[in-house]
Structure formats: C-alpha cells, structure tokens
Structure 1
Amino acid sequence: MKHFLVGLIVYLGLVIMPTQALATSWAYPFVVWDNSLYIVTDQEVTDVGERIGQVTRYSDMEQYGGNFSNVYEKGTNYYAIKGIPTYQSIAVKEKSGRFVKADWEKEYTYGSAFPVGLVSMVAVLIVIGMILIYFTRRSSLRQ
C-alpha cells in the first residue's frame, strides 16, 4: 500500500505540476510601462514631452513584472510624446541620446494572474490528504 501511495504522489507531482521554461524567445523588442506592453520601433521621436518612467528590470531570458524590457537596461527612461496619448505610444531614450517610438500593443498581465503552481500544489495535497484519511479509517474499521 505504501508503494501505491508513493507512486501516486510522484505521478501527481509530475503530471499536475506545471513545468517552467528555462529561457524565453522574444518576437520583438519591447518595453513595459504602466501594465502595458509597447513594441519598440525604429522611428525617431523629436517632439518629446515629460519623463513618465524608466526600466526597472531587464532580461533577455526571463519575463518579469513592473517596468520591464527585453532590450533596454535598467534605468532607461520613458517619455510622453507631445500630441500623442501615452495609451497609444511613448518614447524611449536610447544610450546615444536618441528617442525612439514604442507603440502600445496590449495589456501586460505577467505576474497578475493567480499562481497556477500554487493551485496545483494545494490540489495534490488535498488528494493526498483524502487518500490518507480513507486508508486510515478503512484500517481502523477492520480492527
């Protein structure tokens, strides 16, 4: 019976628990600001407004929440573009001092979803607990 329980636990752990990718492949250069993903273009911006934020985390391998970028280093500044609402486009100041346009693509929801791994772990623990209770009651009824 112990072998069955151990096998069941291992099986549930392998099947239910989600696996995490070790690296991410990006389709395009982007920045995240105010929970929105902006695709960086090659278009230069000359009519720059006020500074609205900066990159707080950079990675070309993993995805993060916050003002994240897969191309610009931490500290790279974001600016409003005069005459264009920030929900449409923003400007990114490159190291060279040049400002490039980044166009709004979609809402950035990474990190805001309910953690699937936690839900899976709780489900496995509930199943294990139910099995243990069943076999404990079953053996006590036989005595």
Structure 2
Amino acid sequence: MFVVNDGKIYVISEEHLDPKEIGSKIGRVTRYSDQEGTYSGNFSNRYPVGTGYYEIIGVEINKAIAIKDDKGLYIKATYGGEYAGNRYSWIDILPYVCAALLVFIGGYLMKKKINW
C-alpha cells in the first residue's frame, strides 16, 4: 500500500505516530484507485480522496511523511522513490486547452467579420 505526494511515492507502514510529532499539512489524496496502473496527482491505492498528508517534525519530507487516516490516527509512510505516473494528466489541462481554443476561434471569427 502506498500514497503519492508531489511525484514521490511513500510506502505505508504499520507505525503510528503521536499527534505531537505532526507538523504542517503538506498535501492530500486527490485520486484513489485500487486498480493497477499509473495515475496523476496525489494518488493512493489505500486512502480515499481528501485524506491528508503531513510533515513529521524533525524528519525530512524526502525521508517520511504522516498520513491521517479516517479514525484520526497518524500513520508513518516512508519515501520509496519517484512515482512512475505523470504529475498531470490531460484531464488536468483540458480546461486550459478549451479556453485557449475558444479565444483563438473567437479571434478568427471577429477578424473574418471585420473583413467582410
């Protein structure tokens, strides 16, 4: 079981952390799937969308992070390397592509109307 935060994979351990060891929130699960594959965003194959990722006081983020589960417990997850999935997928940039396309088409139509 794992989570991905900012393109880095963290392997979930069985180690619980004391809330006094927890620092700032650094992210959250943005995509969940228990199907094999590579996904974009802050992905998890265990925790649902919205589950928070936190720094552990005195531990570098590239070593380990904490996951706050649905019972309010903090679970340690250790760094396992770069994630093979993309940070962004087409679905993430699709609204920007559509907006640019509409502006381009609108400008083209305005130019054609003026030239008539």
**TM-score in terms of structure 2 length:** 0.70
Task: State, as a whole percentage, how many aligned pairs show the same letter.
Answer: 42
- More strand, by proportion: 2
- More helix, by proportion: 1
Aligned position for 1:56: 30
Map 1:1-143 to 2 at 5 A. Answer: 29-46=1-18, 47-61=21-35, 62-111=37-86
Q: How many residues matched?
A: 84
Q: Which runs of 5+ in 2 are unaligned?
A: 88-116
Q: Which structure is higher in RCO with an 8 Å CA cutoff and minimum separation 6?
A: 2
In structure 2, how many angstroms separate the alpha carbons of the residues matched to 1:102 and 1:86? 10
Q: Report the residue type matching 2:27 in the other structure.
A: G
Q: Which runs of 5+ in 1 are unaligned?
A: 1-28, 113-143
Q: Report the residue type matching 1:33 in the other structure.
A: N
Offset from partner CA, 1:49-103 (integer Å, 9 cap, x none): 0000000000001431110000000000000000000000000000000000000
RMSD (CA atoms): 1.1
**TM-score in terms of structure 1 length:** 0.57
Structure 1 runs (4+) greater than 2 angstroms displaced: none
> Shift of the alpha carbon at 1:45?
1.1
In structure 1, how many angstroms separate the alpha carbons of the residues matched to 2:17 and 2:38? 27
